Amino acid sequence: MTINQALRQRIRRRARFLCEYCHSSEEASAALFTFDHLLPQSLGGTDEEENLALACHRCNGRRYHFVDGIDI
Ligand SMILES: [Zn+2]
């Protein structure tokens, strides 16, 4: 997976530097946030801006459970 710096900055700005799930601030976090695929790559998701969300580590970990529950 390659998400280039320009794309990372666009997503951060779009999310206003907040986790898109719990809205916690990246600045207040000990670690940089991660980029979560809304539709996992294993299901054909892309590295496009619209398929990516800024997520703190807690929410990114939690997403895996959501993905398990997606009914396709
Ligand atoms: Zn979060």
Q: How many folded domains does the chain comprise?
A: 1
Neighbours of ion ligand 1 (CB under 5 A): 19, 21-22, 56, 59
Provide the domain limits for residue 45.
5-69
3-state DSSP percent of the chain in helix, strand and coil, to 5: 40, 15, 45
CA proximity to 24, closest of 50, 2, 56: 56
CATH number of the domain bearing residue 54: 1.10.30.50
Q: Which two tokens stand for residue 61?
A: 């970990």
Dist. CA 71 → ligand 1 center (Å): 23
Q: Binning pLDDT at 50, 70 and 90, where does residue 72 land?
A: very low
pTM confidence score: 0.79
Distance (Å, rounded) from C-alpha 64 to C-alpha 56? Answer: 13
Cα–ligand 1 centroid distance for 58 (angstroms): 6
pLDDT, tens digit (0-9, with 9 covering 90-100), for 2-55: 789 999 999 999 999 999 999 999 999 988 999 999 998 899 999 999 999 999
How far apart are the CA of 66 and the centre of ligand 1, in A? 14
